[in-house]
Structure 1
Amino acid sequence: MIVRSKAPLRLGLAGGGTDLPSYANMYGGMVLNVTINMYAHTTIETLLTGEVIFVAQDIQKELTFKSDSKLPIDHDLKLHAGVYNRIVKEFNQGKPLSLKVTTKADSPIGSGLGTSSAIVVSMVKAYVELLKLPLGEYDVAKLSYDIERKDLNLSGGMQDQYAATFGGFNFIEFHGEEHVIVNPLRIRQWLKDEFEASLVLFFTGQSRESAHIIDEQIKHTRDNASDNLSGLHELKQAAIRMKEAILKGNLSDVALELKNGWLAKKKTSKAVTNPLIDTIYEKAIEAGALAGKVSGAGGGGFMMFIVDPLKKLDVERALKNFDGEIRSVEFVEKGTKGWYV
């Protein structure tokens, strides 16, 4: 038996960082994001060999274990093992499974597009299809969050799992005790088309480890550091204002809030930006970009810019002076999906 699944990656438009429980539990977080046509993919094949095989094609890693109710997680494919362990424990009565789980992603982990969480969501969705589990969208997202943040103790927020599961433009609220509300936004088609035409996505060529940035933000929040907290408060307000601008079809205000959000984000940690990112940003603005930011925690990965479509080529020419890659993307409405082969 073969099952496949995929989950979309996302662009963080506003509010990123306020979805960290350290902030959301005290003040409430709000994030605006949109999924794009880049995906995390999973294939599960059932085996009769009494083995569990994990393959991550994009990083060229493969591990084989004897089928067991709990597999070790101290290796490069801990995401695979973490999902397997939770599924077996919670949904298969602790009985081992024999299967091969193969994953790949259209963007590397550390790119700022929520890749690791999308991989987890994709794997969870594949198991849901394989075992015919009665899990809805909120269930899949929460389970994926619990695996990544609690079982594996990986630093991060809550937005990525919900974005990959639900898909589309979402304004997501994070309240105390991990209570999450996903508000899908009904956006006019012309605005989606204009937003896509105005978007320049640039991979800096530097994948980054977001954990240290996130850990620093958590520490500052707990210590009540004024700059960090004011930055997070401003990020949340920028997300609220950007939601209104998108719903009203005002792309110039969307660009303004993207700029405001980037200025606020830099207050939350010194590691959010670096000389390369600052230089790329400055050159893009000089070439005609209206605003820009780093997607995700910062420090590298993808940068996004909103540009007058008539000046898009000028901005792209300026970015080509840096070692990196310009990516064309489209927004997608569908979240994770799974199917039998």
Structure 2
Amino acid sequence: MIISRTPFRISFAGGGSDLPSFYHRETGAVLSSSINKYMYIAIHPFFDKSRIQLKYSKTELVDDINAIHHPIFREVLKMYNLTGVDLNSIADIPSGTGLGSSSAFTVGLLNAVRTYAGKATSGEKLGRLACEVEINKVGSPIGKQDQYAAACGGLNFITFYGDETVNVEKIIMAPERKKELDENLIMVFVGGEHSANSILRDQAAAIGDRKKFETQKAMVQLAYQLRSSLEAGELDDFGKILHEGWMMKKSLVSGISTGVVDELYDRGIKSGALGGKLLGAGGAGFILFYCPQEKQEEFRTRMGDLNEMNFHFDHYGSKIIYVGDTFND
């Protein structure tokens, strides 16, 4: 048996510029971090070598790869012509909550399958392959940031170029300042699940509007500004940048926010947070707040009716955490 562990991510600035409708016109950039909430994929030989068994929210038992209903399982197994296996997925967080679960699944599946096939893979290659699967093979109208964030792990500045290349740079911070940043972030669940594909289709179309394209460009500049602040060890502007980015993002597409999200966000700001944003494409899921530690007791008192998810930064990206003595154990 082989087990991969792949982190989910939180994005701070520049989201949306990883869509081809933007980076084919201007260089895109996002600043994000992986977190210690994970997708686990286990693969081991199936007793019937001519069949494939898959277990996720459903169970599939098929005789042919092309009969697999789950599109990502199907396309990855087709890439390696792999049969006679049993694959299982387990996640710390439900899908559709804005933490990049779909791409974490794809990256983790590729890592497990490639290891099973005896292939070593770098983080950036896993990110590239995951984009190939999700965008080109499955046809999802998504960007590229989630795949690289999950594959490479850590606090990163990720750049997207018109020739389809992607560059991942680690944000270098003093350990004590990075720890402070980690401790100043609070994530609360606002409920529901969103359809990222639907929102991202609308966002990609919106960027065709000149004014909204300029707004997206300004969001990219916030990512550069945030990188400079973090590398200088300055956290004072972190909440302000999150807030500015969220206000800009909301203006792109109506489905990104809702009345409930707006009310909870405003309450969080009044409770001591300096800024925040709804994570992911929008509509539902988790709101991330930046709240200094001296304000956190008041924040948690006033926001106590919401489910807070404790988390910390992940530093490693997708990893193989277990390999049996033989692949047939």
**TM-score interval for Structure 1 and Structure 2 normalised by the shorter chain:** over 0.9
Structure-2 separation of matches of 1:231 and 1:101:
43
Report what 1:336 is aligned to: 318
Instruction: Give the CA deviation at 1:25.
Output: 1.4
Gap regions ≥5 residues in structure 1: 89-95
The match for 1:100 among 86, 90, 94 is 86
* CA deviation after TM superposition for structure 1 residue 48, in Å: 3.6
SS of 1:113's equivalent in the other structure is coil
**Distance in 2 of aligned mates of 1:133 and 1:333:** 23
CA distance in 2, matches of 1:320, 1:231: 34
2:74 to 72, 78, 81: 81
Answering whether residue 288 of structure 2 is matched by residue 325 of structure 1, we say no
In the aligned structure 1, how far is the partner of 2:233 from the partner of 2:120?
38
- Give the Cα–Cα distance (whole angstroms) in 1 for the partners of residues 91 and 118 of structure 2: 24
RMSD: 1.3
1:173 equivalent in structure 2: 159
Tell me, in whole angstroms, the C-alpha distance in 1 between the residues paired with 2:277 and 2:292: 16
**Given the two structures, how large is their TM-score scaled by the length of structure 2?**
0.95
Q: Which residue of 2 aligns with 1:229?
A: 213
Aligned to 1:266: 250
For 1:206-245, list aligned pairs within 5 A.
Answer: 206-221=192-207, 224-245=208-229
1:15/1:32 contact within 8 Å kept: yes
CA deviations 1:74-97 (Å, max 9, x no partner) are: x3x322222212232xxxxxxx42
Larger mean CA deviation between 5-14 and 228-237 belongs to 228-237
- Within a 5 Å distance, the mapping from 1:88-237 to structure 2 comes to 88=81, 96-221=82-207, 224-237=208-221
- Once the two structures are TM-superposed, the CA of residue 242 in structure 1 deviates from its matched residue by 0.5
Structure 1 vs Structure 2: percent identity of aligned residues?
A: 28
2: CA distance between counterparts of 1:264 and 1:87? 42
Does 2:62 correspond to 1:65? yes
Contact 1:200 1:316 in 2 (8 A): no
Aligned equivalents of 1:109 and 1:154: distance in 2?
15
Distance 2:38 2:93 in 1: 8
Contact 1:86/1:147 (<8 A) preserved: no
In 1: Cα distance, 2:149 partner to 2:242 partner: 19
Structure-2 residue corresponding to 1:10: 9
Report the 3-state secondary structure (helix = DSSP H, G, I; strand = E; otherwise coil) of the residue aligned with 2:98: coil
CA distance in 1, matches of 2:144, 2:80: 20
Alpha-carbon distance in structure 2 between the residues aligned to 1:188 and 1:331 = 14
**Whole-angstrom CA distance in 2 between matches of 1:87 and 1:151:** 14
**Which residue in 2 is equivalent to 1:47?**
46
SS at match of 1:251: coil
**CA distance in 2 between partners of 1:134 and 1:278 (Å):** 45
Quote the residue 1:249 is aligned against: 233
User: Structure 2: any 5+ residue segments left out of the alignment?
Assistant: 325-329
Secondary structure of residue in 1 paired with 2:316: coil
Q: Does 1:311 align with 2:295?
A: yes
Give me the whole-angstrom Cα distance separating, in 2, the residues matched to 1:160 and 1:107: 15
1:168 touches 1:331 (CA, 8 Å); kept in 2? yes
Task: Please give the alpha-carbon distance, in whole angstroms, between the structure 1 residues aligned to 2:94 and 2:171.
Answer: 28
The answer as to whether partners of 1:228 and 1:269 remain within 8 angstroms in 2 is no
Q: What SS does the corresponding residue of 1:26 show, helix, strand or coil?
A: coil
Alpha-carbon deviation of 1:122?
0.4
What secondary structure is seen at the aligned counterpart in 2 of 1:177? coil
Write the distance in 2 (CA, Å) between the matches of 1:134 and 1:159.
22
How much does 1:285 deviate? 0.7
Shift of 1:113: 0.7
2: distance between equivalents of 1:26 and 1:87?
34
Normalised by the size of structure 1, how large is the TM-score?
0.91
CA drift of 1:205 comes to 1.3
Contact 2:46 2:53 in 1 (8 A): no
Displacement of 1:308 after TM fit?
Answer: 1.6
SS in 1 for 2:9: strand
Which residue does the alignment assign to 1:278? Answer: 262
